[in-house]
Amino acid sequence: MSDQKMEFLSYDEAVKIVAAIQEEEDIHHQDRRVLTVYNHDDKELCWFDYQETMDAVGEVPAGERKESVQNYILNHIPQWALDI
């Protein structure tokens, strides 16, 4: 395990490079889902475990869930995503 603290892009930086967030099957675990983040060149930037993300977002009204998940992810894009 690394002792380095994960650094994230600012929300404004993330919005500029993120083109899509897709819910997909985890190819390594058929019973799990991931939220894959793509850039404008359709390249995968990073991914988030679906259940961990839902737990982190917490309870929100059904009509606000998509926006809440999107905001959570955009605030947690790793700094190294700029190198992709």
For 29-73, the pLDDT digits (tens) are 889 999 999 999 999 999 999 999 999 999 999 899 999 999 999
Report pTM. 0.90
Q: What tokens were used for 43?
A: 């390249």
Q: Which residues contact 36 (CB under 8 A, 6 or more apart)?
A: 21, 22, 24, 44, 46, 47
